[in-house]
Structure 1
Amino acid sequence: MDFINRHAKKTIERMANSYPAVLVTGARQTGKTTLLQKSIESKNIQYLTFDDPMEEASAKSDPKSFLEFHPYPYMFDEIQYIPDLFRYLKIQIDKNRHNGMYFLTGSQQFKLMETASESLSGRIGIVELYPLSAREIRGEEFSENFIPSKDFILSRNSNFTQNDFSVEKTWKAIFTGGYPEVVKGNVLPKDFYANYLKTYIERDIKKLIQVADEMQFLQFISVVASRTSQLLNYSDISKDCGISEVTAKKWISLLVSSGLVYLLQPYSTNIEKRVVKTPKLYFMDTGLAAFLTRWTNPDVMRTGAMAGAFFETYVVSEIIKSFANNGEEAPIYFYRDKDKYEIDLLIEQNNTLYPIKIKKTASPTSDDAKNFFITNRIKNVNIGQCCVICNCSQVLNIKNKDISALAIPVEFI
């Protein structure tokens, strides 16, 4: 399989026409370099990677002269190794500002994002690239943000007139994950993820923090993976790993800034006092989470104790990707109150909240819509179409008392 068309390509091209610099960031091995090279291949722009220790040393020793010998337009790969370069990029941009001067990639790190935002404020467009989305893997051109309005659902329904949905395909996608090398079949998932973790710990984690015991950090990330789609509980994680809560918080922050983990915030208003304030934790790639939690094949995973958690993680990550590929943060939340009534997702758009329940079932019932009544407690916003995202093969109407909802196939995301 050759290059898989990435929906973020249009976003990069749009930002290159709006900003002097474009940064593509994200976790390792998501395809940042390949995507950026494809986006600028017609522009005859020179390329350099700071994976080369000689280039890294040259840029670090004298960044001002380095840029003078590498005049724009230029693509710099793995720029997280040279954070001081951003201030000199600013100087070059301000000397003769025009769009499309510099194209950058960097593995997602807090320091990288902070430095880029501070040094190049108003001068840089940032695209966060996650592993391949299900849309991209299927070869779809459709790239709109997932907003489950009736118009969106009708549009998606017409696109899937020849429904080729199957529960087996969905669980294979969940088990495999979205990293390009795995999707292309160039390497077995277990081999890829084993090497991925080794590289991540040795090249990223060791540079950011002092990890005395690599096996302890691997245990930590495995424990975190086993809690995907759950409320974040630092105390439980620290006890299971034999580390302090302070260390657990620091390491969770690293997973988030590395792009491996996403913290979904609870939705609350000043009026509502009964909602839970703790975020929920999601792995951004179900394949990596499956490897860490030692599931050996999709069929075993599908019937296992974590099946619901993996299906929910898959849905949430796919929705996040739909926004990220358009250069936007996903306006998503969850809702849970002290009585344990919960709505898995709330998507906010134009003062309207779209409530979503996520169920791995292929046969949704009225019981799956029972919690939507609590949307009446949320004030000062409109409530949009209630949806149940599940493994059904067509759009279905379901109703619980006076609450109507639509069950929609997971492929619509």
Structure 2
Amino acid sequence: MIPRDLEDKLHNALKNMPVVALVGPRQVGKTTLALQIVQDNIRKKSSYLDLELDTDLSKLSDTEGYLKLFKNQLLIIDEVQRKPDLFRVLRGLVDIRKRAGEKAGQFLLLGSASRDLLQQSSETLAGRIRYLELSPFSVMETYKNDPLGFNPLKLWFRGGFPDSYLATTDDESWEWRSDFISSYVERDIPLMGPQVSATRMKTFWSMLAHYHGQQIVLSEIGKSLEVSHTTIRSYLDILTDFYMVRQVQPWAGNTKKRLIKSPKIYLRDTGILHKLLNISDFDSLLGHPVVGASWEGFVAENIIVNLSNKWRYSYYRTTTQTEIDLVLEGPGSQVWAIEIKRSAAPTIRKTFHTACEDIGATRKFVVYSGMERFPMPEKTEAIGLIDFLKLIKALDTPTT
């Protein structure tokens, strides 16, 4: 088992909040992490309920009566979005127990979709719940698990879903990703609410892969699928809400330049991206037109998932193609401009420095595929992904 970076945050949340929601895509390891941390760190009796099982779901026919049986226990409820009226009951129980002196570690909710979970709980459990998102394996997690045998190219090619990354062969990883995509569009997405044709959603998902790292024109995709641009927007939101797609918003600061206003689209897991593009081996990836965008998305996603909530992220692009791949705005009015390069000998275009002046960048980085850290012209620093993530972590770690 590869230890997850979220473990300490989850443990801390359970010590301080009555309800904790651990959300993320299916098959990412939420249940494994929840059961592991309860076994190792929580000195409290716990019980587990999986709402995908009809037998467990039926136990909540009298939700309030059943939940009252678990006083002074931690109850883990998996696939909680299957029971949306649960949150109203949880609020009452939390408030009753708080008056009785039981404050933290009452309920750990696991959910595979963000939209329903957030909508149902944002009002009813405000101030009583903390959300944590578990993503597929990150570069830092795999690096810390085996520093000497660390291979970022394997993670980039296969993606970070545990069963894909840890598969015994590339072929087995490929088969797992194929099954995952089919299951998601045929069963998981419809089961969690949206009623969309599985064939149409899979086609849309595959088309979206060709826009990886770009802004999409909704009307163009809608014309291809013979649906309206508003329908395409809803499809995009579904995949975003189910943690398959990340929409990086454009930089929103003040400038006289004409900016691109639409979000940049990334498929969050590059293993899924490569499967949708039918890239079945690493050599094919290196020769594919998407290779640069794939690497950019891989690096960007690893940076974003390692940011604390003290940071905001965006991208910068003008109508004249002056751009910055990733803009990070953090504590102390820091504005970091990040150029992502796959080359081991990166170069920078002049337009990058122009864009940095536009946004008032306080630091400039080129995050590249090498391991060395060295200065580049115009106060820019080349840095490997691992060292860059360590830099962010150090800034977010409180000093004593």
State whether structure 2 residue 224 is matched by structure 1 residue 224.
no
Q: Is the 8 A contact 1:335 1:346 kept in 2?
A: yes
Which residue does 2:393 correspond to in 1?
none
- Write the mapping of 1:248-259 to structure 2, written as runs, cut at 5 A: 248-259=232-243
Which residue does 1:263 correspond to in 2?
247
State whether structure 2 residue 180 is matched by structure 1 residue 175.
no
Q: Give the root-mean-square deviation of aligned CA atoms.
A: 2.1
- Write the mapping of 1:201-240 to structure 2, written as runs, cut at 5 A: 201-207=185-191, 208-211=193-196, 213-240=197-224
* 1:195-238 deviation line (CA, Å, top 9, x unaligned): 21222123332232222x32221111111122111113212222
Which residue does 1:139 correspond to in 2?
144
How much has 1:249 moved relative to structure 2? Answer: 0.5
- Three-state SS of the structure 2 residue aligned to 1:62 is helix
Which residue does 1:339 correspond to in 2?
320
- Write the mapping of 1:277-296 to structure 2, written as runs, cut at 5 A: 277-296=261-280
How much has 1:299 moved relative to structure 2? Answer: 1.8
Distance 1:215 1:258, change over 3 A: same
- Write the mapping of 1:13-412 to structure 2, written as runs, cut at 5 A: 13-42=11-40, 43=42, 44-59=45-60, 61-71=61-71, 72-97=73-98, 98-139=103-144, 169-185=151-167, 188-207=172-191, 208-211=193-196, 213-323=197-307, 328=309, 331-350=312-331, 351-365=333-347, 367-368=348-349, 370-378=351-359, 383-399=361-377, 403-412=378-387
Q: CA–CA distance in 2 between the matches of 1:277 and 1:257?
A: 21
Q: Is the 8 A contact 2:255 2:358 kept in 1?
A: no
- Three-state SS of the structure 2 residue aligned to 1:5 is coil
How much has 1:393 moved relative to structure 2? Answer: 3.2
How much has 1:78 moved relative to structure 2? Answer: 1.1
Q: CA–CA distance in 2 between the matches of 1:287 and 1:302?
A: 14
Q: CA–CA distance in 2 between the matches of 1:387 and 1:139?
A: 23
Q: Is the 8 A contact 1:343 1:372 kept in 2?
A: no
- For structure 2, the residue ranges without an aligned partner over 5 or more in a row are 390-400
Amino acid at match of 1:110: R
Percent pairwise identity: 28
- Three-state SS of the structure 2 residue aligned to 1:275 is coil
Distance 1:123 1:64, change over 3 A: same
Q: So what's the TM-score if we normalise by structure 1?
A: 0.86
- For structure 1, the residue ranges without an aligned partner over 5 or more in a row are 142-159
Q: CA–CA distance in 1 between the matches of 2:119 and 2:91?
A: 15
* 1:3-42 deviation line (CA, Å, top 9, x unaligned): 2100000010111122101110011111111111111114
How much has 1:338 moved relative to structure 2? Answer: 1.8
How much has 1:184 moved relative to structure 2? Answer: 2.1
How much has 1:329 moved relative to structure 2? Answer: 7.4
Distance 1:278 1:205, change over 3 A: same
Q: CA–CA distance in 2 between the matches of 1:329 and 1:194?
A: 37
Q: CA–CA distance in 1 between the matches of 2:83 and 2:368?
A: 45
Distance 1:244 1:370, change over 3 A: closer
Which residue does 2:7 correspond to in 1?
9
Q: Is the 8 A contact 1:343 1:356 kept in 2?
A: yes
Amino acid at match of 1:94: D
Q: CA–CA distance in 2 between the matches of 1:293 and 1:247?
A: 23
Q: CA–CA distance in 1 between the matches of 2:365 and 2:215?
A: 22
Which residue does 1:144 correspond to in 2?
none
Q: Is the 8 A contact 2:2 2:145 kept in 1?
A: no
4+ long deviations beyond 6 Å:
none
Q: CA–CA distance in 2 between the matches of 1:262 and 1:329?
A: 19
Amino acid at match of 1:68: K
Amino acid at match of 1:210: Q
Amino acid at match of 1:62: D
Amino acid at match of 1:235: S
Distance 1:268 1:392, change over 3 A: same
* 1:260-313 deviation line (CA, Å, top 9, x unaligned): 111101112244452111110111100011101110111210221001110000
Which residue does 1:153 correspond to in 2?
none
Q: Is the 8 A contact 2:164 2:174 kept in 1?
A: no
- Three-state SS of the structure 1 residue aligned to 2:286 is helix
How much has 1:176 moved relative to structure 2? Answer: 0.6
Q: So what's the TM-score if we normalise by structure 2?
A: 0.89
Q: CA–CA distance in 2 between the matches of 1:405 and 1:65?
A: 61
- Tell me how many residue pairs correspond in the alignment: 376
How much has 1:250 moved relative to structure 2? Answer: 0.5
Amino acid at match of 1:113: L
Distance 1:139 1:117, change over 3 A: same
